[in-house]
Amino acid sequence: MSVQPPDGAHPQLAVDIVDRLEWVSGLYPGYRRAHAKGACYRAVFLPTGAAAEYTTAAHLQGDPVPATVRFSNFSGNPYIWDRTRSARGLSVAFHLPGGVATDLLSVSQPVFVAATPQAFRDFLEAAEPNMFTGSPDPEVVRKYATEHTEAMRGLRAVKNTPIPVSYATLRYWAVHAFVWLDRMRRRTAVRYRWEPEAGVQQLSDERAAEKSPTYLSDELTERLASTTVAFQLKVQLAEPGDPTDDCTVLWPGDRTEITVGRLLVTGPVEDQAKWDRRMFDPTRLVPGIELSDDPVLRFRGQVYAVSHGRRTQGK
C-alpha cells in the first residue's frame, strides 16, 4: 500500500482547521468533525477492465472486489436533519487480499471551496456562525469570496447543492485529480465521478420540508430491502495543460471519459460501531495510483489524522 507524504508537514495548520470545523458545526465528542452523520453498508465493486490500460491498481483490473461504503451528510453535527440543503458524501473502502485497503472519497458537488489548505482555513473562519443568528455572516463570506475569487465555483455549488430523493440518486465527485501509472510507468492524470444508475433525483424545498429528519437513512434502508443500489465509476482522462493542482477548477467536458466499474451496495454492515471508528482517507492508495500535486489533497491526511485522534479519544 502506498501512502505518499505531503510536501512538508503543517501540523499546526491541521490542528487549526479541525478546531475551526468544530466551531462551525459545534463540538460533538466521539464524532467525525465533518460528515458526522452517516452509516456504512456492504458492497462489491465490479471492474470493467477499462482502467487496466492506464493503471496497475489491483482494484481496477477485472476481478470483483469487496467494498464497504459510507453515505453521510457534510456537517460535523451528527443530529442535523437530512432535509437541509447540504453536501452529501460517499466514501468507499476497497478491500484487497492481505488486508490491504484503498479508499475513494467523494461528495455531491464537483469542486471544492478552496485551492490551498490555508485558504480552506480562511473559509472556515468566514463560515463561523454568528453568535446571535446562528448562521455565517453574509458580509464575511462575501469578503472571503472577494479575496479568493477561485472559490466562487465551489461557493455556488454549496449554495445550489440539491436536496436528494435518496443517497442513491446523487452524483458524487472525488473533486481532486489523481495520477494513474501503467506497467511502463506512464502517467495519466484522472478525475473520478460516481454516476447513480437510478438517475439523479432531487426534492424541491417544499417537498423536503415534508420529510422526516432521518429520511435519507430511512429511505435507503427501505430501498435496500428490495433491491441493490448501483453506481457507475466514471473516470475523466486529462489532456496536456489540464490543471491537476487546483480542486476549484473543472476540466473541459469534452475530455475522454471511461467507465471503469460498477459499485453494488447490498445492505448495512453488521457492525456499525466498528466501521464508525474507521478513518476513510483519500491518500490511502495502492501501487498504480499516486497523489497529484493538488496541495489540498496532499494535506487532507494530516487533517483526518487530527480529527480521528480526537474522536477515538472521546474528544
3-state helix, strand, coil in the chain (%, to 5): 30, 25, 45
- 5 within some domain: no
Return d(Cα 41, Cα 32) in angstroms, integer.
18
Give yes or no for a contact between 69 and 266, defined as CB atoms under 8 angstroms apart: no
Amino acid at 313: Q
- On whether residue 6 sits in a domain, the answer given is no
How far is C-alpha 104 from the chain's CA centre?
7
Whether 175 contacts 194, CB under 8 Å: no
With contact defined as beta carbons under 8 Å apart, do 38 and 30 qualify? no
Please name the residue ranges forming H helices in the chain. 11-25, 117-126, 138-147, 152-159, 205-209, 215-224, 272-277, 295-312
Number of domains composing the chain: 1
DSSP state of 210: T
Q: Which three cell numbers stand for residue 94?
A: 476497497
pLDDT band at 187 (very low <50, low <70, confident <90, very high): very high
Task: For residue 248, give the CATH number of its domain.
Answer: 2.40.180.10
Domain for residue 222, yes or no? yes
* pLDDT at residue 259 is higher than 80: yes
Tell me: pLDDT of 11 over 90.
no
Indicate the SS3 state at residue 261: strand
Q: Is residue 4 part of a domain?
A: no
> Are 38 and 70 in contact, with CB atoms under 8 Å apart?
yes
Output the CA angle 51-191-169, nearest 5 degrees: 95
pLDDT average, residue stretch 185-210: 96
Share of the chain above pLDDT 70, in %: 97
User: Which residues on adjacent β-strands are paired with residue 192?
Assistant: 235
Q: Is residue 68 one of the residues assigned to a domain?
A: yes
The predicted-structure confidence for 66-93, as pLDDT tens digits, reads as follows 999 999 999 999 999 999 888 999 999 9
| Residue 90 resides in a domain | yes
Domain limits at 148? 11-312
Positions marked catalytic:
35
Q: Is residue 1 part of a domain?
A: no
What's the confidence (pLDDT) of residue 150? 87
What is the rounded CA–CA span in Å between residue 307 and residue 94?
Answer: 22
| pLDDT for 9 | 59
Task: Report CA 234 to chain centroid distance, whole Å.
Answer: 15
Helices 295-312 and 117-126 cross at an angle (nearest 10°) of 60
Task: Determine the Cα–Cα distance for residues 86 and 224; give it in Å rounded to an integer.
Answer: 23
The single-letter code of the amino acid at 112 is F
Report the pLDDT value the prediction gives residue 8, as an integer from 0 to 100. Answer: 53
For the chain, the average pLDDT equals 93
Residue 3 domain-assigned (yes or no): no
Which of 308, 314, 300 has its CA nearest to residue 279?
308
**What's phi and psi for 112, nearest 5 deg?**
-100, 170
